[in-house]
Amino acid sequence: MSKILETFKNKSVELLITSIVAILGVFLAIIIDNIVAPFVKYVLPEIPLKTLFALIGILLVLQILSIIVIILQKNKLAEKVDLNDYNFDKKLGVYIHKITKLHFCTSCIANNIISPLKERQDGWVCARKYCEQYYINPTIRNQNILVKINPLIAIG
């Protein structure tokens, strides 16, 4: 008996979902018919053929241009970071640009992204959102330890 009830319950849920989808489909068809049919019947015949072909040509050119832009962007993203431009600082754990001497995030460079580091009081933090990797400056940390051991060092 319970098996029959279970089957009835599953079938009624399926029927309900199918009915809702069918009703939405009918509404969508009515809306499309009310918009597209008058356009095809009254507006389209009034547009000269040359204008239609010109519009189609413009759309085609725009489509081709957008495809070219997408391909160029993909190639740009695929370019690898040239590590020859940077020195890796083992003590700091960051990359330093050979010419500008700016510090860059090691974590981001590993992901092929060049992200400069923002200088903070006791180190550096990655400027890129969603990374925000923190790098401690070991020389500042050592100074703090010395100050804790002998506070007179800070004064002198």
Question: Where on the chain is the footprint of Zn ion (CB under 5 A)?
Answer: 105, 107-108, 115, 126, 128, 131, 133
Smallest separation (angstroms) from Zn ion to the CB of 95: 11
Burial class (CB in 10 A: 0-12, 13-18, 19+), 31: exposed
Among residues 42 and 130, whose Cβ is nearest to Zn ion?
130
Smallest separation (angstroms) from Zn ion to the CB of 131: 3
The percent helix, strand, coil of the chain (3-state, each to 5) is: 65, 15, 20
CA torsion, ordered 5, 7, 9, 14, to nearest 10 deg = -170
8 Å CB contact between 145 and 99: no
- 126: β partners: 117
Smallest separation (angstroms) from Zn ion to the CB of 60: 42
Smallest separation (angstroms) from Zn ion to the CB of 117: 8
Phi, psi of 92 (to 5 degrees): -85, -25
